[in-house]
Structure 1
Amino acid sequence: MVSTRRFPNWTALSEPHGSLFRESGPLSRFPRLRAFRAGLGLTRLAEVPGPAGGARVLAKHEYENPTGSDADRVAYALVCQAIGASARQPRFVAAAGADLARALSRLCSLIGAPLRLVLAEEAALGPDGAGVRVDRSAPEDGLLGAIALAEEIAEAGQEWILLAAHRDPVCVAMHEFVTGREIIGQLDGLVPAAWVCGTGTGGCLAGVTRALRATGADPVVTGVTAAELPYGSAAAPRSGLPGWAGLGHGYRQPLVEGELPDLATESVRMAEARAGIREFRAATGREIGPASAANWLVARAVAAKLPPEDVVVTMFPDGPHEVTAVADLGEKTKGKG
């Protein structure tokens, strides 16, 4: 049974919450983090195929981060914050999807910190996962069950520091003051008419929204979610859901709800994302991952309703390393709606 514990209320960040994300102390204490930091961020913001006669679509290529996804930013922010908050040797526990699991495994391998991951689905951790302890929550409870189990582990043993990507405002701060500012600089004066991003854990969607609004822009914000289990759905989670699915049982990611309580969302099925991967490959000769394809499809649809002089910004959170996995997941989910 999934825990009935409710997420706490979360209010929107306000200045000076850039102070939530501080890295100088952790980098001094663990110099091996510098190699990861050197490859983090400054990913391309590049034009991708858009609709004929509609707005341009610009995608932030987050799969260029060290382990291949935007989760690298969240993992780095969480680890830095935890290191900065305590002088003791860090030992971390976290509920994670595949991308965050890979990122945390890399970081903890670099600093020699024990890591305990709670997973609802299988995740390939690679060589960085050699010393990682993995606990499995019930697959039918989805990520919500993994979150509840990770919290219980942290509460039961004081030695484990909880990294809570779904509720920690440092994730919003990272995307507001780092990712968002990168995008603004790369736009070079362009003012986006729309911002399209997966709901995910919520940090990227909320943080970049805050950054754009701080410049005086007022983009139309659209969250991308999975048709199999949309954001905020009262349906129960199950195994084999896309990475951009909601949590189920009526839960809304606190980092999204706190900043965007009236968020408009568009749903994309896994089958549509797979078709989007193929269409993008045919148009560009390049591979993207399923979450990137879902964002691209929605961004293109949004752009089709806007004039050619407008710009739509979206996120490509995952890259080619996910293409094989999505084919496998497609087999698992056949006939499940």
Structure 2
Amino acid sequence: MTAAAPARTAAGAGFEDIRRVLAARAPALSDLTAAFAPLEAEAHRLLPRLAAVRPTIGDTPLVPVPSLAGRGRVWLKTEAANASGTVKSRTAYALLCAAVARAGTPEVRLAEYSGGSLAVALADLCGLLGLDIHLVVPHGAPQRLVSALLRQGAQVSHGRPGTGFLGSMDEAVRVAEREDRRLLLQHCAAEAAAMHREHTGTEIVGRLSGYGVEPVALAAAVGTGGSLAGTAMALTAAWPHCRALAVFPAEAVYGDERAPSPTPRMNGTGGLGLGIRQPLLSAFPEGRISYTDIAYPQALHAMRHLRREHGIAVSGSGAGAWLSASAEVDQGPPGRNAVAVVAGRGTIEEWEHATAH
């Protein structure tokens, strides 16, 4: 899976700020394997309200459905049961725990970028916790998203026109430096991967072990890579032959050399553009993670299939993870099992596209 790689032109200019910060804060594999629990405990001590919201996050259902060809099962880790309705509740919680613990005080002023789900989760949690946050969304983000963030008390800015998600990342660096805020920087947040290892992955291992199931693969669509990295570490520790599948949109593959574009694709996933790679995945040795891609029409078809045949509403990225896990199960002997992380039920826009095609 290799995207076209044209020579870099002036289209690649203007993203020096986010390149600089990603390089400076890129985690090593040892950072991803560090314990999350001490950070969590210290954050709870400093800001007890974080401990109060913890029960609303995690312990989500694991639902078996047939694979695409029906030769095995794919267990869907349905993250819509989290407080904000997506897996990003976990990420937001981990980011806030780490920020408070490392600052040594709950009086933190934060900045972050997001295309949607993480912004909602962060705004919700910061509103509950009384934390000051400035969120940067891509230019052209839905007004319903911006309104929801403002209602929770977040400040909201936009990236430059024509720069997509990467533009919001770049602008967030400038916002943080200009306003003296702590940039959460989800793409380098080893604490998110560690939290997924200790919680999301452990939940999956415990449930499947109780059923006597050994999965051959784990598939998760990649935004930052934290969900995949963390759950993969937990599952491969329990079952060394379980393959970790990083699912990307065919329209924006891992390490995509092309400039950011508004081409429709699975929501919340994808290569960042201009050859920038997700640092949480780059930290892994070559061969530890396999890469696959799903085209947007395939994901929309899978969304409709899962809702029609199994009564489960999933996001485009979750549908893509199910397709990738199905491909792994269906190419082998019958009766095999795999796991797919389903980020949420899907946005209004995704379902409008799914029903229109």
- Fold match by TM threshold 0.5: yes
**Which is worse superposed, 128-137 or 8-17?**
8-17
Which residue number in structure 2 is paired with residue 191 of structure 1?
A: 214
Structure 2 residue 102 is the aligned partner of structure 1 residue 85: yes
How many residue pairs end up in the alignment? 330
Amino acid aligned to 1:293: A
For 1:144-197, what per-residue CA distance to the aligned partner results, in whole angstroms no more than 9, with x for missing partners?
222222122223332x11111101211111111111111110111432211111
Q: In the alignment, is the contact (CA less than 8 A) between 2:64 and 2:74 conserved in 1?
A: yes
Amino acid aligned to 1:18: A
For 1:239-292, what per-residue CA distance to the aligned partner results, in whole angstroms no more than 9, with x for missing partners?
354322210111110001112544432222222221111111111123222111
Structure 1 runs of 4+ aligned residues shifted over 4 Å read 125-128, 327-332
The alpha carbon displacement at 1:216 in A equals 4.7
Q: In the alignment, is the contact (CA less than 8 A) between 2:58 and 2:90 conserved in 1?
A: yes
Amino acid aligned to 1:277: M
Q: 2:136 aligned to 118, 124, 131, which one?
A: 118
Which residue number in structure 1 is paired with residue 253 of structure 2?
A: 230
**Which is worse superposed, 242-251 or 212-221?**
212-221
Q: In the alignment, is the contact (CA less than 8 A) between 1:49 and 1:283 conserved in 2?
A: no
Q: In the alignment, is the contact (CA less than 8 A) between 1:20 and 1:170 conserved in 2?
A: no
Amino acid aligned to 1:161: R
**Which is worse superposed, 268-277 or 109-118?**
268-277
Q: 1:289 aligned to 315, 333, 343, which one?
A: 315
Taking the aligned partners of 2:274 and 2:32, their CA distance within structure 1 comes to 33
**Which is worse superposed, 73-82 or 225-234?**
225-234
Which residue number in structure 2 is paired with residue 3 of structure 1?
A: 15
Which residue number in structure 1 is paired with residue 235 of structure 2?
A: 212
| Corresponding residue SS for 1:83 | helix
For 1:184-211, what per-residue CA distance to the aligned partner results, in whole angstroms no more than 9, with x for missing partners?
1011143221111112201111111111
Q: In the alignment, is the contact (CA less than 8 A) between 2:112 and 2:136 conserved in 1?
A: yes
**Which is worse superposed, 266-275 or 230-239?**
266-275
**Which is worse superposed, 15-24 or 162-171?**
15-24
Q: In the alignment, is the contact (CA less than 8 A) between 2:304 and 2:354 conserved in 1?
A: no
Alignment of 1:117-266 (within 5 A): 117-120=135-138, 121-123=140-142, 124=145, 127=148, 129-130=150-151, 131-158=153-180, 160-188=181-209, 189-239=212-262, 241-242=264-265, 243-259=268-284, 261-262=286-287, 263-266=289-292
Taking the aligned partners of 1:92 and 1:266, their CA distance within structure 2 comes to 34
Taking the aligned partners of 1:196 and 1:85, their CA distance within structure 2 comes to 32
Q: In the alignment, is the contact (CA less than 8 A) between 2:137 and 2:158 conserved in 1?
A: yes
Taking the aligned partners of 1:165 and 1:28, their CA distance within structure 2 comes to 23
Amino acid aligned to 2:91: V
Which residue number in structure 2 is paired with residue 304 of structure 1?
A: 330
| Corresponding residue SS for 2:283 | helix
Distance verdict in 2 for CA 1:166–1:305, change over 3 Å = same
The alpha carbon displacement at 1:128 in A equals 5.6
| Corresponding residue SS for 2:136 | strand
Q: In the alignment, is the contact (CA less than 8 A) between 1:139 and 1:239 conserved in 2?
A: no
Taking the aligned partners of 1:125 and 1:25, their CA distance within structure 2 comes to 32
The alpha carbon displacement at 1:294 in A equals 1.4
Q: Which runs of 5+ in 1 are unaligned?
A: none
Distance verdict in 2 for CA 1:135–1:125, change over 3 Å = closer
RMSD: 2.5
**Which is worse superposed, 259-268 or 140-149?**
259-268
Alignment of 1:25-40 (within 5 A): 25-40=42-57
Q: In the alignment, is the contact (CA less than 8 A) between 1:142 and 1:247 conserved in 2?
A: no
Taking the aligned partners of 1:139 and 1:231, their CA distance within structure 2 comes to 23
Q: 1:24 aligned to 41, 48, 54, which one?
A: 41
Distance verdict in 2 for CA 1:249–1:15, change over 3 Å = closer
The alpha carbon displacement at 1:319 in A equals 0.8
For 1:10-34, what per-residue CA distance to the aligned partner results, in whole angstroms no more than 9, with x for missing partners?
3213686114762233334433334
